[in-house]
Amino acid sequence: MVLKLKDTYLSDVISSSDYKAIEGDIKKAHDMLYAKSGPGSDFLGWTDLPVNYDKEEFARIQKAAKKIAGLCDIFVVIGIGGSYLGARAAIEFCKGANYNNLKKDTPDIYFTGNDISATNMSELLEICEGRDVCVNVISKSGTTTEPAIAFRIFRELLEKKYGKDGAKDRIFVTTDKCRGKLKELSDAEGYETFVVPDDVGGRYSVLTPVGLLPIAVAGIDIQEMMNGAADARSAYSECDIEKNDCYKYAAIRNILYRQGKSVEFFVSYESSLIMTAEWWKQLYGESEGKEGKGILPASVSFTTDLHSMGQFIQEGSRIMFETVIDLVNVERSVEIPYDEANSDGLNFLAGKDMHDVCRTAFKATAIAHTDGKTPNIILELERRGAYQFGYLVYFFELGCAISGYTLGINPFDQPGVEEYKKNMFALLGKPGADNEARRRELEAKL
Ligand code: PA5
């Protein structure tokens, strides 16, 4: 068992007739996906990725990762959205949220180009001082402003430090196979490049070179990750809610949405899963939030957030449900010590492992929240690891596609993200008649 959906806490809100009622819609979504007849069907490359990927490029990624690990102390990964979240989620999922601070024989990895914060950039430049650096810039379009600014800064840094030729050896580019400014620049400068497949959108791209190169640099077995995704692909191929947990997840989400639950919290009890939640939020938010529809994806990390958001989830507006990752096994254990004086009154926990206490907190919370009318979907996850991450990625990607089609939207486009860019370019004075006209309109509103 890698991942198991448990509906133990849903019996009060979902009956067998609810499943029956939605079955037809799930079947339609399945048929559209596999016949490639639904909206966005040009972006279904991710469905076959785990079994159909470029093996030569995969080997080149593994080779580049070894080279990078030998060349640098700090590996700077530049990218935003789908060109950032998957890699960071995988590294923290497999290696822990404290990866950079743990003892290891792989480089520290820093992510930048995912905001326009002068403070973050300046701090990272300071961290890089006196240390050897390699860079992976990732942008499918090759034109996104945030990573483009960061790359300009790091290219200058590397060229000053190592000379143009030395920098060339330390810059790795992941972008479109033939289009975009980044591709043109890479060809002109002779950077090693990796390809973002045409038919895979950003938020579905973690198992392409977008995610795989940084993940491999962290010393994670990317072959195992692909194996996990491939096994999930066969485990979730049958269109039967009873047997297919991924389809059941898509069905439950839509049933709850139709009952008025418009917010879904991704809940985990481990810091190492916080970035997985961020990746999941982008996947579901950008896929489903359109045409005035969609479940708002949110996340909390328990037990930390039980002392903040817990109050709202227990007693606030009854608009949400939770999808809780119950991590069964952990690699590290810490026993709670016995204290003769028992001055803190904690001896009832002495000798117990912290993880067992954590899982008890999970059970107690699931019952409390369910009693408070926040339904809980439980996803029991065997353990953290490369294989399990690949498996989980495929589960959520397929679940998102089926859920999005069931909702009646195109889960593979993101027209809404262009609006802020148009305003920003206009206000920044980017040349062009359209920008100029928009700038005048916007300035009247400022
Ligand atoms: O999921 C998406 O498509 C987006 O989040 C993109 O990944 C993000 O905007 C970055 O785009 P690009 O890779 O073209 O720089």
- Could you report the per-residue pLDDT of 14-48, keeping only the tens digit for each? 999 999 999 999 999 999 999 999 999 999 999 99
213: left (phi over 0), alpha (psi -120 to 50) or beta: alpha
pLDDT, one tens digit per residue, over 207-251 is 999 999 999 999 999 999 999 999 999 999 999 999 999 999 999
E strands, 281-410, are 296-301, 320-327, 376-381
What are the backbone dihedrals phi and psi of residue 59, each rounded to the nearest 5 degrees, phi first? Answer: -65, -35
Ligand 1 atom closest to residue 414's alpha carbon, by position in its atom list: 3
Q: Are 401 and 27 in contact (CB under 8 A)?
A: no
> What is the best residue among 78, 80, 194 to mutate for testing ligand 1's pocket, by most ligand atoms within 8 Å of CB?
80
C-alpha closest to that of 4 among 235, 322, 320, 251: 235
The verdict on the CB of residue 146 being under 6 Å from ligand 1 is no
Given a cut of 90, whether residue 417 has pLDDT beyond it is: no
User: Which two three-digit tokens encode residue 39?
Assistant: 């909206």
Q: Which of 307, 331, 418, 419 is catalytic?
A: 307
Percent of the chain residues past pLDDT 70, beyond the cut: 100
Query: Known catalytic residue: 421?
Result: yes
Given a cut of 90, whether residue 82 has pLDDT beyond it is: yes
Query: Known catalytic residue: 286?
Result: yes
* Ligand 1 centroid distance, CA of 204 (Å): 10
Distance CA 277, CA 280 (A): 5
Given a cut of 90, whether residue 304 has pLDDT beyond it is: yes
Percent of the chain residues past pLDDT 90, beyond the cut: 97
The verdict on the CB of residue 202 being under 6 Å from ligand 1 is yes
Given a cut of 90, whether residue 418 has pLDDT beyond it is: no
> What is the best residue among 42, 141, 210, 410 to mutate for testing ligand 1's pocket, by most ligand atoms within 8 Å of CB?
141
pLDDT, one tens digit per residue, over 396-415 is 999 999 999 999 999 999 99
pLDDT of residue 317: 97
Q: In what order do the strands lie in the sheet with 192-195?
A: 108-112, 74-78, 133-139, 171-175, 192-195
379: left (phi over 0), alpha (psi -120 to 50) or beta: beta
**Rounded (to 5) percent helix, strand, coil in the chain:** 55, 15, 30
User: Which residue's alpha carbon is at the smallest distance from atom 5 of ligand 1?
Assistant: 81
